[in-house]
């Protein structure tokens, strides 16, 4: 990954990274809890001198009923300040439960879109929007099972959350595509119900079939159905600031550098088609290297 | 409290596909210890009946396993026939406790080490490949905490079979042929970025009749 960045950074308009890969978290309440990993942190600092760095965190678990990890939130804000991130984001899901002795679900678990969850989230989102120098976004989740009898649809829940907590939406079109395939609804209906003016970033990605489902594996090229959703969304997302191609490291073997950059170029072309006068927006998302064998 | 209990049930089911199966077979007693509203109880029952719950469990297991597989890919290749059972044993009543999967690597190393020592895992080449990857993991850990990528973190390891004949097939997830020649093969491991280079230092081949155990 680091070599890809060296070769390709100039091709990108910004870089989206998972900051959790650049620190070791020694646990809630420990002294010096977040220890930056020097190689990864230096790589980020170096990249930040060349282009904007967007932080897409995975460890906050903002929808956990019994945990709001303020130490984590403050650390994320500090990194965003240090790197002068133009925005940061998290997932509309949870993975951590249990105060004291935590359990990690090892996957982003969906939430029911109920008033109770909305009430839980609003002060947490305001914690960010109140102090951050930049927008805070929440991403629509991918889910392989779903809950019935909800107070809101997902899109109505996001509209309400943005309106009441002043956050934005990271619209993951591959998540939407995956959910629509797996659960049999029209992705366009979802987009028509979502207030696209709240969308500041879009994710696009590839995925594979597994156990009879389409999965959000982030492998391979962006799928045709996702490109079509992007073409629909871009002209309507009036505050859109970036598009990120998310890919798993195995995609290097499938597409190579040039194939990855083709996805970026195609996204850039779609933006320029609909907003020829705007600044170019097309971005690639990458995980920082873990420096493993 | 109710939402908290609901999330706890969903997470516990995600991490324990066997519990999902037991519930599907009619054992709903697991829900008795949670204070769920009727709506939440209904949602849990609907969730386990959806085929996507099985996928959800599989993805969670895969994500958890990835933390180990990244560091021990060759060990996992050799363990393949028994890997599922080994992970079931390791993870039984031991859910992941950290979003960065801290402790997963040590727990895996602990169980493999114990089972090799006790003879439960008598798999050809396993002990030396596990020792090799353990050293790689140490190097990687050391490297992660250093400030330069090119300082050449190194370690010396000893193989009992020619390293090239072991490592090349295993790097392609293929098990090496049985009965490779034996000897003492000392090699230097050099971690460069994310890549480990293996540099042979010395090789002493056993005589064919030496009967050195694998």
Check pLDDT > 70 for residue B147: no
What residue in A sits closest to B6 (Cα-Cα)?
A65
Among all residues of chain A, which has the CA nearest to that of B9?
Answer: A97
Contacts of A120 in chain B (CB under 8 A): 3
What integer is the mean pLDDT of A141-164?
97
Band (pLDDT 50/70/90 cuts) for residue A277 is low
Dist. CA A244–CA A14, nearest whole Å: 9
Q: Tens digit of pLDDT for each residue in A103-141?
A: 999 999 999 999 999 999 999 999 999 999 999 999 999
Mean pLDDT of the A21-43 span = 91
Q: Across all residues in chain B, what is the average pLDDT?
A: 91
**Looking at the DSSP assignment, which residues form a beta bridge with residue A90?**
A138
Mean predicted confidence (pLDDT) in B123-147: 89
The SS3 call for residue B65 is helix
Lowest mean pLDDT among B69-73, B144-148, B195-199: B144-148
Q: Mean pLDDT over all residues of chain A? A: 91
Which residues, numbered 98 to 117 in chain A, qualify as contacts with chain B under a Cβ-Cβ cut-off of 8 Å? 98, 101-107, 109, 112, 116-117
Chain-chain contact of B143 with A59 (C-beta, under 8 angstroms): no
Average pLDDT value for residue range B44-58: 97
Rounded CA-CA distance A285/B178 in Å is 43
Residues contacting residue A208 through CB under 8 Å, at least 6 positions apart = A214, A215, A217, A219, A220
Cβ pair A293:B144 closer than 8 A: no
Whose tokens are 């932080």? That residue is A55
Q: Which of A270-274, B148-152, B203-207 has the lowest mean pLDDT?
A: B148-152
Is residue A158 within 8 Å of A194, Cβ to Cβ? yes
Label residues B58-92 b or e (16+ Cβ within 10 Å = b): bbbbebbbebbebbbbbbbbbbeeebeebbeeebe
Q: Does A42 touch chain B (CB under 8 A)?
A: yes
- Give the count of alpha carbons within 13 A of B87, CB side only: 22
- Chain A neighbors of B50, CB-CB under 8 A: 144-146
Residue A288 pLDDT level (bands cut at 50, 70, 90): very low
Q: Which residues of A touch B10 (CB under 8 A)?
A: 105, 109
Q: What are phi and psi of B94, to 5 degrees?
A: -135, 75
* Residue A248 CB coordination number (10 Å): 14
Residue A84 phi/psi, 5-degree rounding, is: 50, 50
DSSP, residue by residue, A149-183 = S-SS-HHHHHHHHHHHH--EEEEEHHHHHHHHHHH
pLDDT tier for residue B189 given thresholds of 50, 70 and 90: very high
Q: What is the pLDDT of residues B93-102, one digit of tens each?
A: 899 999 999 9
Percent of all residues in chain A with a pLDDT value above 90, rounded to a whole number: 80
Output the pTM of the full model.
0.92
Q: Check residue B207 and give its pLDDT.
A: 74
Mean pLDDT of B142-160: 75
For A49, the token pair is 């001198």
- More confident: A276 or A176: A176
State yes or no: pLDDT of A285 exceeds 90. no
Q: What is the pLDDT of residues B106-122, one digit of tens each?
A: 999 999 999 999 999 99
Write down the pLDDT at residue B52.
Answer: 97
CB contact under 8 A, A25 and B63: no
Query: Model ipTM?
Result: 0.92
């Amino acid at each position: 990954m680091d070599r890809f960045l060296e070769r390709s950074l100039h091709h990108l308009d910004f870089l989206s990274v998972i900051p959790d890969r650049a620190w070791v978290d020694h646990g809630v309440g420990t002294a010096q809890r977040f220890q930056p990993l020097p190689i990864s942190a230096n790589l980020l600092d170096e990249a930040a001198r060349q282009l904007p760095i967007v932080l897409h965190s995975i460890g906050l678990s903002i929808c956990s009923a019994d945990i709001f990890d303020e130490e984590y939130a403050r650390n994320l804000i500090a990194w965003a300040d240090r790197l002068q991130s133009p925005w940061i984001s998290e997932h509309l899901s949870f993975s951590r439960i249990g105060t004291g002795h935590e359990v990690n679900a090892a996957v982003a678990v969906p939430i029911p879109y109920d008033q109770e969850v909305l009430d839980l989230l609003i002060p947490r989102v305001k914690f960010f929007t109140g102090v951050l120098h930049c927008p805070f976004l929440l991403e629509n989740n991918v889910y392989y099972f779903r809950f019935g009898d909800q107070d809101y649809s997902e899109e109505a829940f996001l509209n309400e959350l943005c309106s009441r907590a002043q956050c934005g939406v990271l619209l993951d079109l591959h998540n939407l595509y995956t959910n629509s395939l797996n659960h049999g609804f029209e992705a366009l209906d979802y987009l028509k119900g979502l207030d696209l003016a709240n969308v500041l970033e879009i994710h696009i990605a590839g995925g594979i079939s597994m156990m009879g489902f389409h999965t959000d594996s982030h492998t391979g090229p962006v799928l045709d159905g996702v490109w079509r959703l992007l073409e629909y969304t871009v002209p309507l997302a009036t505050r859109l600031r970036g598009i990120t191609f998310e890919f798993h490291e195995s995609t290097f073997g499938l597409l190579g550098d040039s194939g990855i950059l083709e996805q970026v170029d195609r996204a850039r072309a779609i933006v320029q088609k609909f907003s020829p006068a705007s600044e170019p927006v097309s971005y690639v998302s990458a995980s920082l290297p873990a420096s493993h064998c | 409290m109710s939402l908290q209990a609901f999330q706890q049930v969903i997470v516990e089911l995600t991490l324990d596909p066997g519990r999902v199966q037991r519930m599907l077979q009619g054992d709903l007693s697991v829900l008795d210890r949670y204070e769920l509203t009727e709506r939440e109880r209904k949602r849990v029952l609907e969730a386990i009946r959806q085929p996507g719950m099985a996928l959800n469990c599989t993805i969670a297991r895969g994500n958890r396993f990835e933390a180990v597989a990244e560091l021990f890919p060759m060990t996992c290749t050799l363990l393949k026939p028994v890997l599922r059972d080994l992970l079931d044993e390791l993870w039984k009543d031991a859910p992941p406790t950290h979003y960065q999967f801290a402790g997963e690597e040590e727990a895996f190393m602990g169980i493999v080490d114990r089972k090799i020592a006790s003879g439960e895992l008598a798999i050809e080449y396993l002990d030396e490949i596990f020792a090799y990857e353990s050293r790689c993991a140490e190097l990687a850990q050391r490297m992660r905490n250093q400030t330069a990528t090119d300082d050449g973190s190194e370690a010396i390891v000893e193989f009992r079979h020619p390293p090239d004949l072991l490592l090349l097939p295993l790097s392609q997830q293929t098990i090496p042929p049985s009965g490779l020649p034996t000897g003492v093969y000392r090699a230097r491991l050099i971690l460069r970025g994310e890549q480990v280079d293996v540099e042979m230092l010395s090789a002493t081949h056993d005589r064919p009749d030496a009967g050195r155990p694998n």
